[in-house]
Amino acid sequence: MSSSTATSTNITWHAGDVSRNERAQLLKQKGLTIWFTGLSASGKSTVASALEQHLLHKGINAYRLDGDNIRFGLNKNLGFSPEDRTENIRRISEVSKLFADSSTIAITSFISPYRSDRDSARKLHQDAGIPFVEVFADVPVSVAEERDPKGLYKKARAGEIKEFTGISAPYEAPESPEIHIRTDQKSIAEAVEQIFAYLVANQLI
């Protein structure tokens, strides 16, 4: 794992000639990050994908960063230890901030089980003046385990997967997310509409 504490030397931040406000005016949209968190099989990736499609059909540029997909490339050298989970979220926090800075709506879908890691992602955006919207895809563990589309809970119960969130590793639920969705009680369309309505009401789109 690459150390998150290592620092590069002999580098200088280079500001571009286009400001964020100018870019937003030219592209006619603001950038922000919509951060989905929840257990495996909570429905966060499904809702995130549907939200991305909904925004694009509305003419709003959006891009989804999915936890599993990112581990095939950018984060393929990371495992699931607490340290690697933290580094996983640190990297995607930086990437989503870059997308948002470019006036894209970054939609991230990561279990991101530790509250402190999500708080760090939020602070990174806040310090840069970029909106950060946390969406809690909430289901009881029993419901997620019943869905289990990838068979991961079954493997975790059998001891085949170590440090599995919700079974042998903790999940720290958000205390005050901007959006809280019980995905076992709402349809995908209803969840997307709830998020879209929030974005409109808060003048984020």
Q: Residue 46: what pLDDT?
A: 95
Rounded-to-integer distance, Cα 119 and Cα 32, Å: 16
Residue 155 lies in a domain: no
Residue 72 lies in a domain: yes
Q: Is 24 exposed, middle or buried (0-12, 13-18, 19+ CB in 10 A)?
A: middle
Torsion, CA 121, CA 123, CA 125, CA 126, rounded to 10: 160
Name the DSSP class of 178. S
With a pLDDT cut of 90, the percent of the chain lying above it is 68
Residue 177 scores a pLDDT above 90: yes
Mean pLDDT of all residues in 79-86: 86
Residue 93 scores a pLDDT above 60: yes
Q: Residue 81: what pLDDT?
A: 85
Residue 161 lies in a domain: no
Tell me which of 201 and 169 has the higher pLDDT.
201
Contacts of residue 113, Cβ cutoff 8 Å, sequence gap at least 6? 37, 85, 165, 169, 170, 171, 172
Biggest CA-to-CA distance, the chain? 56
Residue 204 scores a pLDDT above 50: yes
Residue 160 lies in a domain: no
Q: Could you please report the per-residue DSSP string of 12-39? A: -----SS-HHHHHHHHTS--EEEEEE--
Are the C-beta atoms of residues 138 and 179 closer than 8 Å to each other?
no
Residue 13 scores a pLDDT above 90: no
Residues with active-site annotation: 112
Range with the lowest mean pLDDT among 22-26, 87-91, 119-123, 130-134?
A: 22-26
pLDDT band at 1 (very low <50, low <70, confident <90, very high): very low
Residue 84 lies in a domain: yes
Residue 162 scores a pLDDT above 90: no
Residue 153 lies in a domain: no
Q: Residue 3: what pLDDT?
A: 47
Domain containing 37: what range?
Answer: 21-144+170-201
Residue 105 lies in a domain: yes
Q: Residue 2: what pLDDT?
A: 46
Residue 7 lies in a domain: no
Q: Residue 95: what pLDDT?
A: 95
Q: How many helices (H) and strands (E) does the chain have?
A: 8, 5
pTM of the model: 0.86
pLDDT tens for 28-45 read: 899 999 999 999 999 999
Question: Over the chain, what is the mean pLDDT?
Answer: 89
Rounded-to-integer distance, Cα 187 and Cα 57, Å: 19
Mean pLDDT of all residues in 59-85: 86
* Phi, psi (deg, nearest 5) at residue 134: -90, 130
β-strand pairing of 179-182 with 105-109: unpaired
CATH number at residue 38: 3.40.50.300
What's the domain count of the chain?
1
Q: Residue 174: what pLDDT?
A: 96
